[in-house]
Structure formats: C-alpha cells, structure tokens
Structure 1
Amino acid sequence: MNTREAKIEAFGHLLDVQERLRKECPWDRKQTFQSLRPNTIEETFELADALMNNDMHNVKKELGDVMEHVLFYAILGDESGEFDIADVCNQEARKLMFRHPFIDWTGWRDDPKADSGDMPHNSEEVEQTWEQIKQKEKDGNKTVLSGVPASLPSLIKAYRIQDKARNVGFDWQKREDVWDKVREELHELEVELAKDDAINSENELGDFLFSIINAARLYHLNPDNALEQTNQKFIRRFGYVEQKAKEAGKELRDMTLGEMDDLWNEAKCQERKNDSQYNKSDNQ
C-alpha cells in the first residue's frame, strides 16, 4: 500500500486536476452547488451499490467520484469566499476530536481541551456519548432528532430516528416486546383495509412499516440492506422466469400464473444449488 507521503501527494494531485478542470472545462465552469446536487446523489447511490455487492474494484472507483464532488464543492466555496478544502478538513478533524473526549488529544493540533472522561466499553456507548456531545457543540444539533437529514430515504430515516431516540434512553426495555407492537400495527392496518379506507390504510401501513424497522434495529439487522438483498433476489428470479419464457417462445403476459410460479420455483432451486456448490468449494 502507499506511504502517508504518497497519499498526501495523491490528494494534492486530484485537487490540482479538479481546480484546472474548473478553470478550463466548459462543463465544469458552469456548475453550481445546486446543479451538482443531483449528480452527487447519483454518485452516492452508485457507491452504495458497490458496497452492497462487495465489489472492491467499483468501491474504489465510486469513492473517487464521491471525493471529486467533495473537492468540487470546496472549490465553489473557495470562489465564493465561504470556505475551502482546508476549512472542510480542519472543521471535520476538530469535530471528531471534540466528539471523542475519552481519547487523550493533548499536544495535538486543535486540542479540544475536553475532559477525557471514561473510556466507552462498546460502540453503543460511543454513539450515546456522541448524541450528548452534539447538542453541546456551537453548531451542533439543537434537538435529538434534528440531526436526521430531511432528504434521507424514508426507510433509512426511520432507522436513524429510532436509533437516535435509543441513544437517549427512549427504547424498549426488552426487544421481544416489540413484536406485540408489530402485531398491534398489523391488526390496525387490516381493520382499515377491510373498511376500504385509503387514507387511514396508508397511515396504518406507515405505522406497521415503522414497527418492522424498529424490530430489525432491536435485533441488530439493517432493514435497508435486507430489503435491497430481497430486491436483488427478486430481480434475479424474475429474470430467470423471463429468460426461460423467451427460450420457450412465450410472452410473459400470455403465460398463466401457475406456469410462471413453476419457473419461479425453478429459479429458487437453482439458486440453492449454486449456493451449495459455492459453499462446498469455499470450504475445501
């Protein structure tokens, strides 16, 4: 791997390239904070895809794209006189140091002079410490939930809301108790569906989904990752059904549900067979 000096040089090289593009590339010259925002969102999701697939080649590639956007925003900030990349890095370093008072920063640049405190015993205690410290920061969160970005996808937002509430003690005493809430919300949803009440059904569906995400969190399962794995599984199996139908010279819309279901089950069996062979070879 690269030395620290090589890493710093590479970062400087990328900054030089981006600054030159801003000056000489017609596309880069016309970009603004707002025009870049959609691209940044797309690049972030592409990174998320690579991480989900454990594709290290593309993780490296997409990290570069995200970093390029960070530098671009910093260049725009420099042009407006608001901030530059040094301000971004220094502010983040100071924030991290302040939020980790249990680490001795004596003698470090920007020493936060915070009470070292007791060393947390696990990551959950660290998160609880963060939530308390964030509200003490000059530009920190004013309320427990104000740090949850409004533009987060709803599923991830629900998880983060619940997790932040947990950090201040608002949580189930026993995780098993959450299932009573899940069943309660499911029953309320079924009642409204039976009434054919669209508005209340949607409200109750939201409550039911929120309770399921709560259960996932309590059992240390990531609902977003779990749902994406199921999305990919459905895509694979449906693709198998579509392929087999095409090989048989049939259109999906002309097939019966039973015929499609048979192909779906074939896809499931094929996946299990492939997984079994993979695990067998992996253990040899």
Structure 2
Amino acid sequence: MKVAAMPQRPLPRSESDALVHDVTEGMPRLLEIMARLRAPDGCPWDIEQTFATIAPYTLEEAHEVADAIEREAWDELKGELGDLLFQSVFHAQMAEDMGLFRFEDVVRAISDKMVARHPHVFGEESRDKSADQQTLDWERVKAAERGNARTLDGVAMALPGLTRAVKLQKRAARVGFDWPSTDEVIDKIAEEARELVEAHTSLTEEERFEEFGDLLFVMANLARHLKIDPEAALRAANAKFTRRFARIEDWLAETGRKPEDSDLAEMDALWNRAKAEEKAGVAT
C-alpha cells in the first residue's frame, strides 16, 4: 500500500479544502486541518495557543486514554487515542510555525529511536531474550544515549508525582542505590509514618508537608518493589471509593435523604454494607 505524502504547506485553498474533506487521506488530512486551524484566517483560540498552554491538555488526554483502558472501554479508546494524537499534531504545528521542526521530523526521530533501540528486531542482535532482558537492554541503550548526564537527569518534571518517584528510584537502583528487599522498605514506611504521627502536633506546616512527602515517596518505592503501578493502584482506589459512596447515596435516597441528612455512624455502616455487597459479587 502506498503511503500518502505529507502536504507541502501552504496548499492552494482549493487543494486544502479537498484534502480537509477527504475522509480517506489519514494523517495528511489531519495535518492540513491543524495547519488551517493555526492559519491567520483560522480559529482564534487555536492561533493564540502556545506549548505551555497546550501542555496541560496533552497530559489530560493521556490520562483519558489510560482511563479508557482501565475501564476496558474499548469503544471509547479509539476517540481518546485520536485526541492524544491531535495533541502531538498541535505541538508539531506550533513548532513549525516557529521554524523549529515539522511533524515529519517528529516521525523520523521516533522511528530512528525505535530502530536503534531494537537491534534484536531490526539489526543483527539475537532475538533469543526475555522481556525482562529486553527491558535491561533498553535501559542500557538509553543510558548510552544520555552519555555523561547525571543519573537522574531526564526524568520529566511534569510526570504525576508517584510515577516520577518510581522512575527516579528505578534510575537510582540501576547504580546500586536501593534496598535489597521489600522488608527494608516496609520498615522505612513504618518509620516515616510514625515520625509523622508522633510529631505532627509539634511540626510546622512546612515540616508536616515535607514529612508527608517523604512517606509518599517511600510508598512509591514499595510499589516499585512489589511491581505495582502506584498511579493505577490509586486510580483503582479512587474508583472503588466513588462506587461505594454512590451506593451509600442510593440507599439514603431510598429513604428520601442525602448524605448531609445522615451521620458518620450510619454512613460507615452503609459503607460496610456496600463493601460486603461487592465482595459477595452482587453489586451492579
């Protein structure tokens, strides 16, 4: 199958209109739509945007992809992936407007990277390796690419806090800075929690903030040792809380009341009822 060439912009308006409305054109069509949105006669909102203003939307779309996967909402995933792809196109168009690079450069860069990091597929290296060995080899290639950079350089600041904590800890672990087992991590969690509980009344607000951060950081370390994605685990806990609290509201509504018309003792009892309902597998 012949791959359509990317449009050389700006196209004459008649050609642009034809491309924008041709549903068979794939990526060239999407790139032209984005170019038109950012053109002088395009959408005022799109024209005003910058890398900084679009970045939060990029993060949001990535989270919505993860949410659809978490819920196994496969009918929604196509649209969410499209939204995330559009974010890459948006950033690339802004870069082109500034004379930095084009979308084609983005595609070439990631293609070159994938080929270089998979010599067992695209080169002469043996494919006789496990997924774990491939992960180690991947990290080795990435380290070589970083050259003389510091161990923790390049871990994106904009990552969710727990995810960034795990990545920082993985980097440190590769050079031997890690607890040998989960036992030491659990001991550290107990120590950090005890310090926070025992000293919270005497600590300043800034010190409580720091101690709480230390506790979360060690919890992320435990997740890494247990091979648990802490963000996914927290999302699941959030979903469980939302689901069970909704049951509390449903049962209160049956008596014509809302949560604010109840009290903690009653709602705690209803929470336990919802918990038992779920464990029995009868929750709807």
User: Normalising by the residue count of structure 2, what TM-score does the alignment of the two structures yield?
Assistant: 0.80
Cα deviation 1:207-257 (Å, max 9, x = unaligned): 222222211111111111111111111111112212322331234233222
Let me know the Cα RMSD of the aligned residues: 2.9
Cα deviation 1:179-199 (Å, max 9, x = unaligned): 222222222223322545544
Counterpart AA for 1:79: D
1:247 equivalent in structure 2: 254
2:42 equivalent in structure 1: 25
Give how far 1:5 is off.
5.6
Alpha-carbon distance in structure 1 between the residues aligned to 2:57 and 2:238: 24
| Secondary structure at the counterpart of residue 136 of structure 1 | helix
Match of 2:151 among 117, 136, 144: 144
2:167 equivalent in structure 1: 160
| Secondary structure at the counterpart of residue 200 of structure 2 | helix
Alpha-carbon distance in structure 1 between the residues aligned to 2:224 and 2:2: 38
Alpha-carbon distance in structure 2 between the residues aligned to 1:197 and 1:90: 52
2:275 is the alignment partner of 1:258 = no
Give how far 1:265 is off.
1.8
Alpha-carbon distance in structure 1 between the residues aligned to 2:2 and 2:159: 34
Percentage of pairs with the same residue:
35
Structure 1 pair 215–35 and aligned structure 2 pair: CA distance change class (3 A): closer
Alpha-carbon distance in structure 2 between the residues aligned to 1:239 and 1:209: 28
Structure 1 pair 204–246 and aligned structure 2 pair: CA distance change class (3 A): same
Cα deviation 1:50-95 (Å, max 9, x = unaligned): 1221211221111101111211221222222211111101111122
| Secondary structure at the counterpart of residue 142 of structure 1 | coil
2:69 equivalent in structure 1: 51
Give how far 1:259 is off.
1.0
Give how far 1:264 is off.
1.2
Counterparts of residues 1-284 of structure 1 (less than 5 Å): 9-23=25-39, 24-26=41-43, 27-105=45-123, 116=125, 121-137=129-145, 142-193=149-200, 195=202, 197-273=204-280, 275=281
Structure 1 gaps, min length 5: 107-115, 279-284
Cα deviation 1:120-145 (Å, max 9, x = unaligned): 843343333333333432x7782221
Quick check: 2:61–2:84 contact (8 Å CA) kept in 1?
A: yes
Give how far 1:166 is off.
2.4
Alpha-carbon distance in structure 2 between the residues aligned to 1:34 and 1:196: 36
Structure 1 pair 4–242 and aligned structure 2 pair: CA distance change class (3 A): farther
Quick check: 1:120–1:126 contact (8 Å CA) kept in 2?
A: no
Quick check: 2:192–2:215 contact (8 Å CA) kept in 1?
A: yes
Structure 2 gaps, min length 5: 5-23
Structure 1 pair 140–85 and aligned structure 2 pair: CA distance change class (3 A): farther
User: Normalising by the residue count of structure 1, what TM-score does the alignment of the two structures yield?
Assistant: 0.80
Alpha-carbon distance in structure 1 between the residues aligned to 2:258 and 2:167: 43
Quick check: 1:240–1:267 contact (8 Å CA) kept in 2?
A: yes
Counterpart AA for 1:46: E
Counterpart AA for 1:25: G
